[in-house]
C-alpha cells in the first residue's frame, strides 16, 4: 500500500506517528494502539440540527489518493471531459452514478450525494490532513482527526475494544487529544490482529510482573519529569491489555461469517475491511476507517478507476445492505470520500491530475436523509455551480450526527483553545 499521502506534511507528521505496537507486544508490554471536526451561523443552533438520537458509530470509507468525481459520483456523459464511462440512472431524480457502480446505484435512495465539495488543498498530505481534521495543516499544532474526537468524547471508560480503528492504513492521529485517542491500526483485515497473544516463553504471571515493572518505571519517570504524557501512555497500556483479554477480539476474524455474506462484500482486503467494520461497530467501536488505496490516477485513469470501483461497489453496497438488515443503518453513519477530485481535463497519459476545486462525497445512515443530491458542478465538472460545501462543514455535520457539538473546544498543551472544526457549519439539508 502506498502510504505517502496518508500522513500530514513533514512538520505535523513527526508529532503524530502511528503506534509501533509489535515491538512492545513482543516484549510483553502490549502497546497495541497507534502512537498512536463563528461564522454567521450560530454553533448552538447547528448542534441542535442533529437528530434526537445520535448515531452510535461512524464508518469512513477512505478513497486514498483522490478519486475522480467525474468517473465515479458525478458523471458528465457526452462532454469532452466525461471520459469513456457511461452514466447510470438511479431511482433518485438527478442522481446518476458511474456505470461501474451498479450495486450502489440500486441503493441510491439510501445515500446523500454531495457533489459540491470544494477546498484549496491540492497536495495529498495537506488535503488528507484537512479532510480528516477539518483544519489546514499548521506547524504550531497537530489537530485531532474526527475519529480521535469521537474516541475522546464518546468512548466508554474501560471499553474492551478500541474506540477508533483504522483498517488498511494508519489514518490520522489524536494530536493534542493525546496518544490514548489515536487509532488502532490494522493493516490487513479478516483475521485477528498480529501479536495479541503473549510472547513465547511469557506466561500470565510473568506478563503481570512485566506490567508491574513498566508501571514502576513510569512512576519514576513521572516523578522526575512531571511529564503529562505518562497518563496517556498508561491508558494505552491498559487498553492494550483489555484488548488482549476480551472475547470480543473475535470481531476482527470474519471466518465465522456465512460464505454468502463474505462473498457479497467481495474477496478483497477492502471488502473484508468493510465486513470487519460492521462487526466492530456492532460490538461498540465508535469510529472505523477503511482505506481503499490507489486513486491517484495520473496515468491510466480509466482502467485503474474501473478496477477500483469493482472493489468499492460490492463492499460499499453490501455494507449498507448488511447494516440495514441488522437494523443498524439508522444508528451507523457511513461516509465515503477521498481528499479531492481529479481534473476534468484528461492528460497525455490518459490520466487525471489533482483537482480540489470540485469533488464529491457520499453519506448514508446515521440520521442522513437518503435520496438526496446536494449541490452540483458545471457541465464539465470543473467548478461548483451550486451549494458549495466546505470541508469543515461536512465534518461538522458528521460530528453533529454522532452527538458531538461542532463548537466543542479543547485547550492544547500550549494553552490554545481549538474547536472541533475550523468554523464548520452543520448542513441541515442532509439531516433527516
Q: How far apart are CA 87 and CA 109, in angstroms?
A: 17
- Does domain 10-430 fall under CATH 3.30.70? My reply is no
Q: Can you give the pLDDT at residue 392? A: 98
Q: Can you give the pLDDT at residue 6? A: 46
Domain ranges of the chain: 10-430
Q: Can you give the pLDDT at residue 221? A: 87
Residue 276 grid coordinates: 470487519
Grid cell 470541508 in the structure block, residue: 391
Q: Can you give the pLDDT at residue 134? A: 97
3 state SS of 214: helix
3 state SS of 411: strand
Q: Can you give the pLDDT at residue 45? A: 41
Contact 252, 193 (CB under 8 A): yes
Contact 404, 412 (CB under 8 A): no
Grid cell 474526527 in the structure block, residue: 146
Contact 414, 421 (CB under 8 A): no
Q: Can you give the pLDDT at residue 30? A: 35
Q: Can you give the pLDDT at residue 212? A: 85
pLDDT below 50 — which residues of the chain? 1-50
Q: Can you give the pLDDT at residue 33? A: 37
Strand 287-293 relative to strand 57-64: parallel, antiparallel, unpaired?
A: parallel
Amino acid at each position: 500500500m502506498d502510504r505517502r499521502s496518508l500522513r500530514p506534511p513533514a512538520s505535523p507528521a513527526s508529532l503524530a506517528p502511528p503506534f509501533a505496537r509489535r515491538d512492545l507486544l513482543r516484549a510483553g508490554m502490549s502497546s497495541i494502539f497507534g502512537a498512536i471536526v463563528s461564522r454567521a451561523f450560530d454553533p448552538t443552533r447547528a448542534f441542535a440540527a442533529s437528530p434526537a438520537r445520535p448515531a452510535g458509530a461512524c464508518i469512513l470509507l477512505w478513497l486514498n489518493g483522490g478519486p475522480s468525481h467525474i468517473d465515479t459520483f458525478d458523471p458528465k456523459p457526452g462532454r469532452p471531459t466525461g471520459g469513456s464511462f457511461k452514466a447510470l440512472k438511479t431511482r433518485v431524480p438527478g442522481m446518476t452514478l458511474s456505470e461501474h457502480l451498479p450495486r450502489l446505484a440500486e441503493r441510491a435512495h439510501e445515500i446523500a450525494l454531495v457533489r459540491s465539495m470544494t477546498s484549496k488543498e491540492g497536495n495529498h498530505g495537506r488535503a488528507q490532513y484537512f479532510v480528516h481534521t477539518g483544519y489546514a495543516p499548521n506547524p504550531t499544532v497537530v489537530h485531532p482527526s474526527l475519529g480521535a474526537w469521537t474516541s475522546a468524547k464518546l468512548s466508554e471508560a474501560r471499553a474492551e475494544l478500541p474506540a477508533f480503528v483504522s483498517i488498511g492504513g494508519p489514518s490520522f492521529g489524536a494530536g493534542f487529544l493525546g496518544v490514548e485517542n489515536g487509532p488502532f491500526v490494522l493493516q490487513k483485515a479478516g483475521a485477528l490482529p498480529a501479536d495479541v497473544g503473549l510472547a513465547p516463553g511469557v506466561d500470565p504471571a510473568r506478563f503481570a510482573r512485566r506490567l508491574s515493572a513498566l508501571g514502576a518505571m513510569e512512576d519514576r519517570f513521572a516523578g522526575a519529569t512531571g511529564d503529562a504524557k505518562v497518563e496517556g501512555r498508561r491508558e494505552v497500556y491498559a487498553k492494550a491489555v483489555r484488548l488482549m483479554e476480551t472475547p470480543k477480539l473475535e470481531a476482527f476474524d470474519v471466518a465465522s461469517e456465512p460464505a454468502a455474506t463474505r462473498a457479497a462484500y467481495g474477496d478483497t482486503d477492502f471488502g473484508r475491511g468493510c465486513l470487519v467494520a460492521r462487526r466492530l461497530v456492532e460490538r461498540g467501536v465508535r469510529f472505523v476507517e477503511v482505506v481503499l488505496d490507489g486513486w491517484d490516477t495520473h496515468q491510466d485513469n480509466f482502467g485503474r478507476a474501473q478496477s477500483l470501483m469493482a472493489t468499492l461497489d460490492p463492499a460499499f453496497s453490501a455494507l449498507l445492505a448488511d447494516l440495514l438488515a441488522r437494523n443498524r443503518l439508522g444508528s451507523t453513519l457511513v461516509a465515503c470520500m477521498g481528499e479531492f477530485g481529479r481534473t476534468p481535463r484528461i492528460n497525455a497519459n490518459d490520466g487525471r491530475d489533482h483537482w480540489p476545486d470540485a469533488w464529491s462525497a457520499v453519506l448514508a445512515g446515521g440520521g442522513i436523509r437518503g435520496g438526496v443530491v446536494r449541490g452540483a458542478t458545471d457541465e464539465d465538472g470543473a467548478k461548483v455551480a451550486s451549494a458549495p460545501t466546505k470541508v469543515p462543514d461536512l465534518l461538522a455535520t458528521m460530528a453533529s450526527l454522532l452527538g458531538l457539538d461542532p463548537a466543542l473546544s479543547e485547550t492544547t498543551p500550549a494553552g490554545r483553545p481549538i474547536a472541533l472544526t475550523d468554523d464548520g457549519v452543520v448542513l441541515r439539508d442532509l439531516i433527516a
